[in-house]
Amino acid sequence: MPWTAADIPDLAGKVAVVTGANGGLGFETSKALAVGGAHVVMGCRNLVKANGALDSIKQLDPSGSMEIVELDLGSLASIKEFTATSLSRHPRIDLLVNNAGLMALPERRTEDGFEMQLGVNHLGHFALTARLLPGLLGAQEARVVTVTSAVHHIGRRIDPANPNLEGNYGPWKAYGQSKLANYHFGIGLHRRFRRAGLPVASLLAHPGLSNTGLQATSSDESGGGFTQRVGVWMASAMGMTAARGALPQLRAATDPQARSGQMYAPRYMNSGDRFPGRSCAGTL
């Protein structure tokens, strides 16, 4: 039988941190985890949208336990403040879902001078995970789930001499680089955890082609280029719902059979009614 959100085990007593929790996959992930009994820390940059998302979940399940903590993954100062606040309230963190992301945007920089997609999609989550490590180590069997994309296949390794792609920038080139970095990060984290004998699992998830609004945002901010317009059309015409697209990361985060070093994705890469896991630990 296909795995669904109904298969999520009882999460009562667990603390989950979800980035980009106010919309799309992050919203559906937060909702499912809260309905499952976890206390969800919603890391969001847009607090107006975050409060609307929290209210929507509360209407569905008034008993859901959630809180909003402001988080801008494009700011190392914001990440530091978020993690300090979260750990002061929750010394133990059972689940971290590195979900937030930007896609194929025009060239710009983060507050700290990094190329925006690399800075938010990868470096921000790298710093966040590192700063939350004390809480993850405080849990009995914590999991870190990092969301990558099939676009990581067209990504190229980061050039240490030019990580920001200065003079060689392309919206999809930068996105592919960031998603490949996510992939390497998830597997590298798995290997480091195992080597150190730590009780923390690192898994990856690919949501497939999901109609979440990410494509529309990319198109709007890029001026509606051809590839962005095609992406919007494909997502609306053929994409899975956000609730369905969130299933790979939910399964990676909650399935008792999931193991560190695995990636969960739709069976047919961008679609499918099943979301099996496969080991990626030996692929790098």
Tell me the C-alpha distance between 33 and 10, whole Å.
9
Count of positions (residues) in the chain: 284
CA within 13 Å, CB half, 13: 6
Q: Which domains does the chain have, with CATH numbers?
A: 8-279 (3.40.50.720)
Is pTM, for the whole model, over 0.85?
yes
Q: 32 CB contacts (<8 Å, ≥6 apart)? A: 5, 8, 246, 250
Beta bridge partners of 144: 96, 202
Q: 38 CB contacts (<8 Å, ≥6 apart)? A: 11, 12, 14, 15, 16, 65, 94, 95
User: Among 169, 175, 264, 268, which one carries the catalytic annotation?
Assistant: 169
Instruction: Please give the chain's pLDDT, 284 residues, in tens.
Output: 788 999 999 999 999 999 999 999 999 999 999 999 999 999 999 999 999 999 999 999 999 999 999 999 999 999 999 999 999 999 999 999 999 999 989 999 999 999 999 999 999 999 999 999 999 999 999 999 999 988 877 888 999 999 999 999 999 999 999 999 999 999 999 999 999 999 999 999 999 876 666 544 543 444 545 555 444 434 454 457 889 999 999 999 999 999 999 999 886 566 556 556 777 765 44
**264 is known as an active-site residue:** no
